[in-house]
Structure 1
Amino acid sequence: MAALLEKTAYSYREDPTVPTFDDSGQIAVMDGDCALCSWGARTIAKLDSAGRFRVCPAQSKTGDALVRHYGLDPVDPETWLFIEDGQAWSGMEAIIRIGERLGGAARLATLLRVLPRGLREWLYRRIAHNRYRFGKADMCATPDDKLRRRLMT
């Protein structure tokens, strides 16, 4: 997996390859064809009662541009991105931070921090490379109303 490029906050705003988008909330960029990611997107929509999160498939124009901006590959199974206040995180750290922000049962993701970072990322890579064993599901095909309001293209 390519390492996430460290960038200054909101650096994507100055990148001509990244379309302009509403970045006032948190953004989760993930595989729009992965059943696990689709489940994650629906979970975010269900648990985020404040409506702060937006979900962006990596296969969309904006998702593709964002992951490339941070030095990631939109077709790499390990590509998962979380953007908050113009800063980005990837991999298991992105998932943990999303769990923290969502609160409630999602905060259980923070328990993964007891594991050394290398072990957490190894676990993330194993799941990511085997994600289609859990099936495929197009998160944009028939999203419920909660998810539809959050989807970015």
Structure 2
Amino acid sequence: MRFTHPGFKIAGIVASLFIVAACSSSNTDGAATTGGTTTGGIVPGSQEDLAATAGDSVFFALDQYNLSAQAQATLQAQAAWLAKYPSVTLTVEGHADERGTREYNLALGERRANSARAYLISLGVDANRLQVISYGKDRPFAVGSDETAWAQNRRAFSRVN
């Protein structure tokens, strides 16, 4: 059965106009657009993009600053991400859990950050793009006094500048 009533034709035209208008409206939700496509609110080359694409943290064992295989894999992904965004620079932050003195944890955090930085440089990242800072135990990621919290706080965090 075919509808030829003028009301159906007008309704179809109005519906088409709404669809076209919706497709051509400006992006007002804060989502990034690249070539007309939305990237789900993540701006390419941003901290959120690094976290989603490569990961922004590597973790360490108690009193250690050597990189595990998993940490190396994350840093390899970060190096590849940095290759896509040659104007981006990072600050590698070293962190420790709450145990130990402030001085000890600042030194340990610095060794962790430098370990991550050195590995990124070995993968071809220009040293001038990477700064290091240690926060020791002063800026915990996870609050708590148990192994779960401590494990999350023993890390090197890559922050987009």
TM-score (norm 1): 0.25
* Larger strand fraction of residues: 2
Which structure has the bigger radius of gyration? 2
- The two structures have a TM-score, normalised by structure 2, of 0.24
Higher RCO (C-alpha under 8 Å, 6+ residues apart): 1
